[in-house]
Chains A and B, each alone.
Chain A
């Protein structure tokens, strides 16, 4: 399968715990994006990487959220001290340089109880 891969697909955590999600983009895609989607809403942009550089961050990305892409390949999104409002689907997407079209993964559904 050469699509965008996300792990885990589902995560249930207790409020206050830290969680980390992983995204493996399509091979050779140097652009990687994270979005968050809540029920009844479209995806909302969180952050964007070109290779290992984080070039854009949304105001939605509070100081409890951090994303990395250390070698310009896979990326991780960490949420510290989770809150119930963090419950959402976290989507990763990738694209080649020069293309605006983004290819999405199936997402990680986070439930904070």
Chain B
């Protein structure tokens, strides 16, 4: 069965701090991996995605994620967070022939000015 685990449920950082949110998945085949963000009162938006090729993917707003196949991980990083990054972040997986996304439980990030 496919699953996604996000270890940090709630993260509080000060502005300019570095961010790393953990994401591990369970699936033995080829995967597509995503990070979505949900700002307060807004819809889910795609931050970045990995399909194949370079395991280090860059997304919008200075975010990046690294796919490490041996660790079944796809951690999200940002070197310096801003107050406007306050949001909930979801890691998601699409595996095999299915068209559905499997989401993690999300990480709520609060950035203090």
Contact = CB atoms under 8 A, between A and B. Distances in A.
| Chain B interface size, under 10 / 10 to 19 / 20 to 34 / 35 or more | 20 to 34
Contact of B106 (A31, A35, A42, A56): A42
A23 B76 CA distance: 31
Contacts of B102: 45
Most buried by A among B34, B45, B90, B101: B101
Interface in B75-104: 90, 92, 94, 98-104
A108 B34 CA distance: 23
B105 to A, nearest CB: 5
A30 B40 CA distance: 29
A82 to B, nearest CB: 24
A91 B98 contact: no
A105 B103 contact: no
Contacts of A4: 43
Contacts, number: 54
B18 interface: no
Contacts of B90: 42-43
A40 B107 CA distance: 9
Contacts of A45: 100-102
Contacts of B99: 31, 33, 48, 50, 55-56, 100
A102 B92 CA distance: 11
Nearest to B100: A45
A107 B42 CA distance: 10
A3 B105 contact: no
Contacts of B100: 33, 45, 48, 56, 58
23 contacts: A4-B43, A33-B99, A33-B101, A35-B101, A42-B4, A42-B90, A43-B103, A44-B103, A45-B101, A48-B99, A48-B100, A55-B99, A56-B98, A56-B99, A58-B100, A91-B44, A101-B34, A103-B46, A104-B36, A104-B45, A106-B42, A106-B43, A107-B43
User: 6 closest A-B pairs (Cβ-Cβ)?
Assistant: A42-B103, A45-B100, A104-B44, A106-B43, A104-B43, A43-B103
Interface of B: 4, 32, 34, 36, 42-46, 49, 51, 90, 92, 94, 98-106
